[in-house]
Chain A
Amino acid sequence: MTAPALLTCEQVTRVLGDRRRRTTALDGVDLDVRAGESLALVGRSGSGKSTLVGVLAALDRPDSGRLLLDGRDVWSLPAAHRRAARRRVGLIFQDVASSFDPRYPVERVIAEGLPERSAGDVGELLTEVGLDPTFAPRHPATLSGGERQRVALARALSTRPALLLADEPTTGLDVLAQHHVLDLVARVRRDTGLTVVFVTHDLGVAARMADRIAVLADGRIVEQLPTGDLRHARHGATRELLAATPRLLPSDDTRHPAFRRAGSSCDSAGPHQRGWHSPREER
């Protein structure tokens, strides 16, 4: 817990839109990402998650406040140094296919940022993300969603970043592909000591992947807590997410009242047998 901060946001604000319609997407974000930790940034749609990803990746310049990487203010560095700093952060996104040039084979996608890399390195990176080196000449269109996300991870790891920034990387994947990608990120983190920031609206995924959770609401970090303390969350935004997230446990007390009305959460009889009326009967 006392590890130095790898990445720091200091009072970051970001205002989006034009003169007519302005939205304060980030409204004074203070956040430390400590070296070696796995932090989940959670929040609802519109809470500012994606804007914060752009800022953390040093791609989007804050309107005020500072982004510090290894203690240096990224936006006061000369451009060349800032580009080098960006290589310290690997990125994976939700919509992977859109970040690939469809004409490039996998090997070129992975080696894109690093022209000096040899074919051997590409093979090594593919193996690292659980893909066979024979994937190298294939094109993105021939890959499944899970395979594409692995290629994206191989590309993100190709610069040997200190931090992996994962923006909803499993949203849209089916449950098995999602499980494999999450497992892979956890393994890479274990093996390399990579710092991970996981951005998600899924509290279940956040709890599985992160040591610590920061909750974003209306452009502010409203609560930060260790994953194990989630059930003691105090802020309304965290509690709202917690209550809305379905679970797979026999005694899920979050189920819809319609189930509880039936007297049991594990009732096998359908509600149609419980005397409810159809709208047609009411008319």
Chain B
Amino acid sequence: MSGLTVRGLTVDLPGGPRIVNGVDLDLAAGEVLALVGPSGAGKSLTVRAIARLLPPGARVGGTARLNDVDLLAVDQAGLRRLRGTALGCMFQNPTAGLNPTMTVGGHLLETLRAHHRLPRVELRERGLTALAGAGLERPAELWQAYPFQLSGGQAQRVALALATACHPAVLLADEITTELDAVTQAQVLDTLRAHAAAGRSVLLVTHDLAVAARWADTVAVLEAGRVTEHGPAAAVLHDPQAALTRTLLRAAQLSSAALS
């Protein structure tokens, strides 16, 4: 299984400057790539461009190849097929992506039905497996729960279950643990790591370099819409070449150093 290759990605928002300005990324199967950088560097727009979730009017250039398919070039019908089965997405605020009037099970059935013609019992079985695979205990009880009954960590795990229910090759995760406490963050990212270990590629957007250090294999540093550094996490975080990476690291190291 090959991974995701992004070349020369550009994003222009209507009437605005070019925010993403020639991004190249290489993400192998089974790898967690952390996309780091300060606010406004273009991290989220990069992810949204790859997921084809940009606001109307945004113009995208370049390619994002997954198994010889250019995600940026497929038509709407192709996109519907790819979403879920090739590409799973998760965002910072998971409850915003859940329908408040629909149970957890309802969400999973809806997602699975879009890609599989199977009896309901079998869809439910797959949904329960996805919940368990997202690290949720007692999936059968959770099946009946509504979004408001979930804790932040549970909601993000339900989002993970939805994103992975159809076994996508690539998982895009944009600041998914920013609103979670440290313990829940570790649990969610350990689960994400397990998905990578099972062969999935994970693009993890984070502004937290310590998160990248602990959970990513490779790191790409984004600055003003360009990748200034891209390599193994150990190399980028312990021997940074770009000035911005050094600045970010110095800032983050103060907290790490205080802990040891």
Contact B183 A244 (CB under 8 A): yes
| Residue B253 at the chain A interface, CB threshold 8 Å | yes
CA distance A176 to B251 in the complex (A): 6
Contact A44 B184 (CB under 8 A): yes
Shortest beta-carbon distance from A262 to chain B in Å:
9
| Residue B31 at the chain A interface, CB threshold 8 Å | yes
Q: Which stretch, B58-66, B118-126, B203-211, touches the partner chain A?
A: B203-211
Shortest beta-carbon distance from B203 to chain A in Å:
13
| Residue A23 at the chain B interface, CB threshold 8 Å | no
Q: Given contacts A270-B217, A271-B197, A272-B199, is CB(A201)–CB(B181) below 8 Å?
A: yes
Q: Which stretch, A11-19, A58-66, A132-140, A247-255, touches the partner chain B?
A: A247-255
Partner of B218 from the list A177, A207, A247, A270 (CB cut-off 8 Å) is: A270
| Residue A98 at the chain B interface, CB threshold 8 Å | no
Instruction: Identify the interface centre among B30, B38, B253: most chain A CB within 10 Å of its CB.
Output: B30
Contact B252 A175 (CB under 8 A): yes
CA distance A266 to B186 in the complex (A): 19
Contact A175 B209 (CB under 8 A): yes
Q: Which residues of B contact A241 (CB under 8 A)?
A: 182-183
Q: Given contacts A174-B39, A240-B183, A272-B28, is CB(A277)–CB(B199) below 8 Å?
A: yes
Q: Which residues of A contact B146 (CB under 8 A)?
A: none
CA distance A242 to B190 in the complex (A): 16
Q: Given contacts A203-B259, A230-B259, is CB(A246)–CB(B213) below 8 Å?
A: yes
CA distance A276 to B1 in the complex (A): 12
Shortest beta-carbon distance from A162 to chain B in Å:
25
CA distance A172 to B180 in the complex (A): 11
Contact A247 B217 (CB under 8 A): no
| Residue B152 at the chain A interface, CB threshold 8 Å | yes
| Residue A45 at the chain B interface, CB threshold 8 Å | yes
How many contacts A-B (CB < 8 Å)?
A: 157
- Total contacting residues, chain B, CB less than 8 A: 58
What string of 1s and 0s marks CB contacts (under 8 Å) between B108-139 and chain A?
00000000000000000000000000000000
CA distance A272 to B28 in the complex (A): 7
Which residue of chain A is the closest to B255 with respect to CB atoms?
A204
Q: Which residues of A contact B178 (CB under 8 A)?
A: 171-172
Q: Which residues of A contact B194 (CB under 8 A)?
A: 258
| Residue B256 at the chain A interface, CB threshold 8 Å | yes
Contact B185 A276 (CB under 8 A): no
| Residue A279 at the chain B interface, CB threshold 8 Å | yes
Q: Which residues of B contact A232 (CB under 8 A)?
A: none
Q: Which residues of B contact A207 (CB under 8 A)?
A: 255, 258-259
Which residue of chain A is the closest to B206 with respect to CB atoms?
A175
Which residue of chain A is the closest to B37 with respect to CB atoms?
A174
Contact A256 B256 (CB under 8 A): no
Q: Which stretch, B14-22, B71-79, B95-103, B234-242, touches the partner chain A?
A: B234-242
Q: Given contacts A44-B184, A45-B184, A248-B252, is CB(A277)–CB(B198) below 8 Å?
A: yes
Shortest beta-carbon distance from B220 to chain A in Å:
14
Shortest beta-carbon distance from A187 to chain B in Å:
14
Which residue of chain B is the closest to A210 with respect to CB atoms?
B258
Which residue of chain B is the closest to A277 with respect to CB atoms?
B199
Which residue of chain A is the closest to B133 with respect to CB atoms?
A279
Q: Which residues of A contact B217 (CB under 8 A)?
A: 270-271
CA distance A280 to B166 in the complex (A): 11
CA distance A139 to B181 in the complex (A): 32
Contact B38 A245 (CB under 8 A): no
Partner of B235 from the list A248, A265, A268 (CB cut-off 8 Å) is: A268
CA distance A230 to B209 in the complex (A): 22
CB-contacts of A180-229 with B (<8 A)? 182, 201-205, 207-208, 227
Which residue of chain B is the closest to A44 with respect to CB atoms?
B181
Q: Which residues of A contact B215 (CB under 8 A)?
A: 246, 255-256
| Residue A281 at the chain B interface, CB threshold 8 Å | yes
CA distance A268 to B31 in the complex (A): 11
CA distance A227 to B258 in the complex (A): 8
Contact B254 A179 (CB under 8 A): yes
Q: Which residues of B contact A246 (CB under 8 A)?
A: 186, 208, 210-211, 213-215
A246-B211, A268-B231 given; name 6 further pairs at CB < 8 Å. A175-B251, A204-B255, A247-B256, A248-B249, A248-B252, A278-B199
Mark B residues whose CB is within 8 Å of A.
1, 3, 28-31, 38-39, 151-153, 167, 178, 180-187, 189-190, 193-194, 196-200, 207-211, 213-215, 217-218, 231-232, 234-235, 237-238, 247-249, 251-256, 258-260
